[in-house]
Structure 1
Amino acid sequence: MLQKIIRHTLRVPRAAAPAGDGSAVARQLDVVLLSVGFKADRALLEHLAALETGAAMDLAVAVVDAVRGLVGDHVRHNAYFKKFPRRVPDTVEFWVSCLRHTGGAEVVDLLTLPGYGRYQHSFADMLAEHDELIASVKDRVTVVHLGGTLEEETHSLYRSLAESVTPLGEAGLLLLAELAVGCGDVELDAVPVRENRAVVNAARLAGGRPLVAVDTVTDVLRAACQASGGDVTLAEPTRFRSFTRRERRVLLAALDRVVADNAGKLGDVSRFAERFKRLGSYLHAYETAAYPGAREVFDVARGDRKVPSVAGRAERAFADGDVSRAAEVLTAAPGLLMRSLDRLLRQADAPDAVLAAMGQVLGSVSGRVLCSVREHLMNRASPDAARAFTTRGRRAWVTDDTRPPLPREVIDRAGALIDAELAARLPALGRLVVDPAVLDVALPLSGKATEDGFAVLPRGSRTHVEGEVLRFFTYWRQARESTDFDLSALLLDSHFRYAGHVSWTNYHDRGAVYSGDLTEAPHGATEFIDIPLDSLDAAYVVPQVNVFSGEGFDDVAESMFGWMLRDRAQAGAPFEPRTVRTRSDLRGRGRVALPMVFGRDRAGTWTATWLHLYLAGAPRFNRLETNQASTSVLARGLVERKYLTVGYLVGLLRGTEVSVWEPGARPAEPVTFVGLHRPDGLPAGSTVITLETLNRLVPA
């Protein structure tokens, strides 16, 4: 748990160890951290220096291991061509050299050639071919801070995850589940996200405690799914386990309370009727009369009782052409009304009735949904170049946008109502200090629109890219069968038309260079691509990782994508941790991963836009050439889309003094700092909101 806390928060829990002289260890830690792009704050170094030597060493090792894992330096990154990016041969020249070893055979499987797809040198051999990296003031330096005790940091992280106002990603839910086991007695102010509630309640169920914050029948269903090791999002069916008698009583009592408070809650059952029927059989609901409300739930699931849902009644109104009645019906489900707002406004003869219904429910809608609808409205004044759909599993597809645009006046009226509601919910933050780099970060409305890793931003976020050479990489390690991932880069012009590519079929293009193809990874394999930002004749670069054969992204033992920046004169090995700007896991159900898009504006400035998307692809033999058309359309649709950013929320603040953070500044009074990482020098008592906690900015 210690390393997980450090990775997630960049805070090091204080060691409960005897006092001593750990000053030598503190000095060593500082040097090692700098070599991988990190530095310890003064408080952490002083804490280490005051510990007994052995305890100081144990803590220092944990810190180094944690931060190396963050940037991907916990594995060895070897390139197929050991002198990459120098002396990478022409593609045809390389294939001819491989064919010389076939003995003149008439039919040859190129991928089985003895010199192809497998490392022909050791990691040490590769390092020997590269000069040492020359330090640059542009190299990344991320500060690691001293935190509280291990218990304090554990409880703080548990509260942060459980009380999040936005859904967590897969890694966040797993971490919350692990923390919930030992933090069940920690008091929580609220658990607003239903998936988080299910994780917390599954831990409470295992401990024989009543469920908390349950206000719908699906909350109980989610908790049962989580307790059975199933899908808490309800996107996939769950095979329920056998519950103990005590657990059955807890679940039945929770269902009974929900229905007793509001019989209308039975309208939610039909959406998951089959799952409720299966759950009822495991809970033996009809063997006792002690929970009549729970029996009603299963009566509805079995079809013995009909309860119309709000969505069903609204659909009947739409079918009758009565949009005003549909809006009135939906006021009983505020979140559903807001998610149906575009449809209501498109089909209404006049927007007044719809906007009036919207005004009635705004105060009952979560801030996350309000922000999501506000972003949607920002993109409805004209048809999208391509309408992109993304799922919770980060799968994506595109189609033509056939919707008529909404009138600008209607967008402005609806947007003004949402802005006023959000502004009223934002707290006064006193003196707010903002790092400009965070203003273009898309609001983290869902952890499912991102990946776990280091300095990973939500989908739609934009990051300025400064450097002469952009180098991105992918690493994978197969679990059970031979697996071939292929790193490629699609080059597009300013109109998103094909301009070239680099991949295992084309090692060079427009100055971009591919490091060589690896076709198996029993001990891990890495592929790189260099992009010369200062001379590239293309407007967009779309890196992609294709599963050519073997295990998928969800099946391999480990897989990641990241990118580095350096100047040409820096030299260094293909992978240098202190030049790594971001590293993200690759975990998705598709066979083609699209982590991000790099684009250059008319002034020559490069920007990275995060995608976190997967295309279905084919079961085998995926190549850039077969998906470049769909990738180009998808990239255009998402790059040209407008996103709700941190800057938008900062602009809504009232009664708050806002200033820009200057590197090296040391405010005299406590402030609220918002940035990608916590800087050194903030006064005691300051509130810090960084990348890991940006969702705290989203109003509840």
Structure 2
Amino acid sequence: MRNHTIITRTLRVPRVAGPAGDGAGVARRLDAALAGVGFTCSSALLEHVSGLAPHTATTLAVEVVAAVRELVGDQVAHNSYFIDFPRGVPDTVEFWVGELRKALVAPRTDATGTTVPTDADLLAAAVSGELDLLAIPTYGRYQHTYAELLAAHDELVARAGDRVTTLHLGATLDEEALALYAELAGSTTPLGEQDRLLLTQLAAEYRDHPQPTAIPVRENRALVNAVRLAAGLDLIAVDHPTDVLRLACQVSGGDVTLRTPTRFRSLPRRRRRALLGALDAAVAAHPGTLADVTRYAERWKRLAERLHPGELPELANAQRVFAVARGQERVPSTTARAEAAFARRDPVAATRVLAPAPGLLLRSVDRLLRSVPEDATGDVLAALGAALPGTSGRVLCSVREHLLNRDAPAASRLFVNRNRRAWIAPDRRAVPAPGAVAAAAALLDDELARRLPTAATVVVDPAVLAMAVPLSGAAAEDGFAVAPRGSRTPVVGEVLRFFTHWRQRARRTDWDLSALLLDDDFHYTGHVSWTRLRDEGAVYSGDITEAPDGATEFIDLPLASIGARYLVPQVSVYSGEGFDEVAESMFGWMTRDADQGGAPFEARTVRTRSQLRGTGRVSLPMVFHRADDGSWSALWTHLYLSGRVDFNQVETHKVTTTALTRSVVDRRYLTVGHLVQLIGRTAGRVSTLDTAGPLVDPVLYIGLEDPGTLPEGSTVITLSTLNQLVPA
């Protein structure tokens, strides 16, 4: 575990147990270097660096600067195709005529020796055969170095509105790493891919240390147990057959989320016995879980070929699992029995069937409320109330968000899978009676209020109230200041500039950045991309068609001159490697004043930077929205479209993107503000830092960043740990 990981994840610098000395000079240089990328040191961190020997302080300072530069995407050189961007970008037609003339018209000279290809020459060449844009000698490749780009731009003028993010002093590296291990393992929501890899690394590194007391998410249990299985240690909290299936997938190098099938490996006898023993104990303790085996029957049959359960006939309950998978023993599932009741048009009976399965009942509550006769609504609500204590907090929050969108008919339904692939479909569901929706929502709120963290004093940063509650790590990308899907972030500044960067791994890769402009009714009004370099004041930096050493594209948007209501940035794979194949990728946005100058990319103006790691071929990271008062905000989406294999561009997906944008914008999300209202029911006092007055005793703080001024022992929940608000 390196300092780098702790710094980028927590904005805390682990305390170094190095020799003491006079590191004051290093501390001053560190703070100056950090200021250039929009960061600063807390007083405690400066004091710590100042007290280290110069060599130790310098080593730490170099690591800190490298970490934060990577955090905001400043570890690479962000060149621009047009060297003077956003100035000096030519008219679109003029640019393409010039480029095509270079490519298609053979040079010739008149009497004066001057090359004079005419428009007639160009037209004749254009109609004579196919145009290969990639064959144009100067198109899609940088015509200047990064140093030449910097020389062509003035220095950035500092402004009070530039971003300043504070780095705090943390505990020792081991203490920080153990705390991070406990945080990831104890997460009440599924983790993203990068966090799962980190949890696996931490579980291996700290397997001999005290283990987390609870691991609520079964995927996380499998990751931790895979490490323990390899070390010959006892498994933790295996209480369901699917826990063993996930564990077998992990030790076989497969998909612990079970989204894709795994090719199971042959295992040593000791591990086979451990897996079968855990399976036998889980079924013995919870016989009803056998009904869930048929969901993954084919995978169980493949796993049996590797575990050889016949070698241990004494494990009768484990034998039953494979008998159910093969169809030799029939165990009707709760879902199947409920579906049979629905097929008989008997939702009351379905309610009774689902009652012993709280999670299934909650996920079916909408269907039940819109299916039962009005006089039976009370039965469903009573069953719901009885099921709430046995339901996970994540399901409670998920169903509560669902009910936010069920009090009125909707034109379409938005679907997003765990790969962040999105699609919409017409919504033909009947709307439950408004009174029933309100009553169900009140029951959920009461249960959430009972479980949410609280304290005598709760302090809230108002900026966090518009953040959506993260119900899954797959609802957001990794990066800097990245918010969950559905969160709104204010955009403050005269110029909005978003960017994408990619570096190909093995083959020529061309990504294209574009922006779709929509009006109040989500109708197309224009776009800016490689086919239209300017529109409504927006300016495109130029198309880069290959990225062996990395490539960056920008779009500049002077907000006062943009007439559109919605701006929808897109990153499209035109050719080559996809988002999950390239060596490096990112998307982000910056804000600055019109007269600040500076290079196209200035780290201190970066507001957010996220990775692009989806499986589609078109990325829709967010939507920018102009309110009636002229202010702008960013709505995080983190969505991908399937797109085409190649040649994706903004015009091709215009209809799909506009429909999807409307569904995302119209949807209501469960926000931190809603949970704070529920916390206020039991908290002694809820206030902001400005109104809290002197704080002496520990508090519960909820904000975008750690203010660093809270009493010792306070519980701090920030943007990167909002999932801690989701109760167990």
TM-score by length of structure 2 reads: 0.95
Of 159, 174, 181, the match for 1:136? 159
Q: What is residue 271 of structure 1 aligned with on the other side?
A: 295
Pair 1:499 & 2:500 matched: no
Q: What is residue 679 of structure 1 aligned with on the other side?
A: 707
Q: What is residue 177 of structure 2 aligned with on the other side?
A: 154
Pair 1:407 & 2:433 matched: yes
Letter in 1 for 2:381: L
Q: What is residue 324 of structure 2 aligned with on the other side?
A: 300
Of 341, 345, 358, the match for 1:317? 341
CA separation in 2, counterparts of 1:24 and 1:637? 54
CA separation in 2, counterparts of 1:284 and 1:44? 57
Q: What is residue 116 of structure 2 aligned with on the other side?
A: none
- Measured after TM superposition, the shift of residue 186 of structure 1 is 2.6
- Measured after TM superposition, the shift of residue 652 of structure 1 is 0.7
CA separation in 2, counterparts of 1:385 and 1:85? 40
Of 472, 476, 499, the match for 1:450? 476
C-alpha distance after superposition, 1:546-573 (max 9, x if no partner): 0000010000001110000000011100
Q: What is residue 720 of structure 2 aligned with on the other side?
A: 692
C-alpha distance after superposition, 1:309-357 (max 9, x if no partner): 1111111111111111111111222111111111111111132221121
Of 461, 465, 469, the match for 1:439? 465
Q: What is residue 592 of structure 1 aligned with on the other side?
A: 618
CA separation in 2, counterparts of 1:336 and 1:82? 58
SS of 1:474's partner is: strand
Letter in 1 for 2:48: H
- Measured after TM superposition, the shift of residue 62 of structure 1 is 1.1
* Contact 1:385-1:636 within 8 A present in 2 as well: no
CA separation in 2, counterparts of 1:13 and 1:460? 33
Of 347, 364, 368, the match for 2:371? 347
Q: What is residue 65 of structure 1 aligned with on the other side?
A: 66
* Contact 1:666-1:683 within 8 A present in 2 as well: no
SS of 1:231's partner is: coil
CA separation in 1, counterparts of 2:599 and 2:453? 48
Q: What is residue 358 of structure 1 aligned with on the other side?
A: 384
* Contact 2:449-2:682 within 8 A present in 1 as well: no
* Contact 2:459-2:692 within 8 A present in 1 as well: no
Q: What is residue 6 of structure 2 aligned with on the other side?
A: 5
Of 149, 156, 165, the match for 1:126? 149
SS of 2:589's partner is: strand
SS of 1:528's partner is: strand
* Contact 1:71-1:580 within 8 A present in 2 as well: yes
CA separation in 2, counterparts of 1:438 and 1:336? 31
| Structure 1 stretches lacking a partner, 5+ long | none
- Measured after TM superposition, the shift of residue 472 of structure 1 is 0.2
- Measured after TM superposition, the shift of residue 91 of structure 1 is 0.9
SS of 2:585's partner is: strand
13-22 or 538-547: bigger deviation: 13-22
Q: What is residue 38 of structure 2 aligned with on the other side?
A: 37
SS of 1:381's partner is: coil
Say if 1:10 and 1:666 are closer, same or farther in 2 by CA, change over 3 A: farther
664-673 or 389-398: bigger deviation: 664-673
* Contact 2:495-2:594 within 8 A present in 1 as well: yes
* Contact 2:465-2:672 within 8 A present in 1 as well: yes
Q: What is residue 20 of structure 1 aligned with on the other side?
A: 21
CA separation in 2, counterparts of 1:428 and 1:510? 49
Letter in 2 for 1:338: L
CA separation in 2, counterparts of 1:333 and 1:624? 46
SS of 1:681's partner is: coil
- Measured after TM superposition, the shift of residue 497 of structure 1 is 0.4
- Measured after TM superposition, the shift of residue 119 of structure 1 is 0.3
Q: What is residue 180 of structure 1 aligned with on the other side?
A: 203
Q: What is residue 491 of structure 2 aligned with on the other side?
A: 465
C-alpha distance after superposition, 1:116-139 (max 9, x if no partner): 000000000100110000001111
CA separation in 1, counterparts of 2:81 and 2:471? 40
* Contact 1:436-1:661 within 8 A present in 2 as well: no
Q: What is residue 573 of structure 1 aligned with on the other side?
A: 599
CA separation in 2, counterparts of 1:426 and 1:501? 44
CA separation in 1, counterparts of 2:671 and 2:535? 35
Q: What is residue 552 of structure 1 aligned with on the other side?
A: 578
Q: What is residue 228 of structure 1 aligned with on the other side?
A: 252
C-alpha distance after superposition, 1:82-130 (max 9, x if no partner): 1100010011111111123233444332232001000000000100110
Pair 1:240 & 2:248 matched: no
C-alpha distance after superposition, 1:205-263 (max 9, x if no partner): 11111221111100111111112111111010011122122211111111011111122
Larger radius of gyration: 2
Q: What is residue 423 of structure 1 aligned with on the other side?
A: 449
CA separation in 1, counterparts of 2:277 and 2:612? 41
CA separation in 1, counterparts of 2:583 and 2:74? 16
CA separation in 1, counterparts of 2:619 and 2:351? 39
- Measured after TM superposition, the shift of residue 664 of structure 1 is 12
SS of 1:570's partner is: coil
Letter in 2 for 1:48: V
Q: What is residue 391 of structure 1 aligned with on the other side?
A: 417
SS of 1:399's partner is: strand
CA separation in 1, counterparts of 2:682 and 2:331? 48
- Measured after TM superposition, the shift of residue 658 of structure 1 is 0.6
SS of 1:683's partner is: coil
- Measured after TM superposition, the shift of residue 668 of structure 1 is 4.2
Letter in 1 for 2:205: G
Percent of aligned pairs sharing the same letter? 60
Pair 1:190 & 2:207 matched: no
CA separation in 2, counterparts of 1:295 and 1:152? 44
Q: What is residue 54 of structure 1 aligned with on the other side?
A: 55
How many residues end up aligned between the 2 structures?
A: 700
SS of 2:651's partner is: helix
Letter in 2 for 1:667: L
SS of 2:560's partner is: coil
Of 214, 230, 251, the match for 2:275? 251
Of 238, 255, 276, the match for 1:214? 238
Q: What is residue 602 of structure 1 aligned with on the other side?
A: 628
Of 116, 141, 150, the match for 2:139? 116
Pair 1:289 & 2:307 matched: no
* Contact 2:370-2:433 within 8 A present in 1 as well: no
CA separation in 2, counterparts of 1:385 and 1:47? 58
Say if 1:663 and 1:130 are closer, same or farther in 2 by CA, change over 3 A: farther
Question: Equivalent residues in 2 for 1:98-113 (5 A)?
Answer: 98-102=99-103, 103-104=105-106, 105=125, 106-107=128-129, 108-113=131-136
CA separation in 2, counterparts of 1:488 and 1:61? 36
SS of 2:166's partner is: strand
SS of 1:27's partner is: helix
CA separation in 2, counterparts of 1:248 and 1:492? 58
Letter in 1 for 2:565: A
Provide runs of 4+ in structure 1 moved above 3 Å.
104-108, 662-670
- Measured after TM superposition, the shift of residue 671 of structure 1 is 2.4
Letter in 2 for 1:405: V
* Contact 1:666-1:681 within 8 A present in 2 as well: no
SS of 1:471's partner is: strand
Pair 1:171 & 2:194 matched: yes
* Contact 1:514-1:528 within 8 A present in 2 as well: yes
Say if 1:692 and 1:666 are closer, same or farther in 2 by CA, change over 3 A: farther
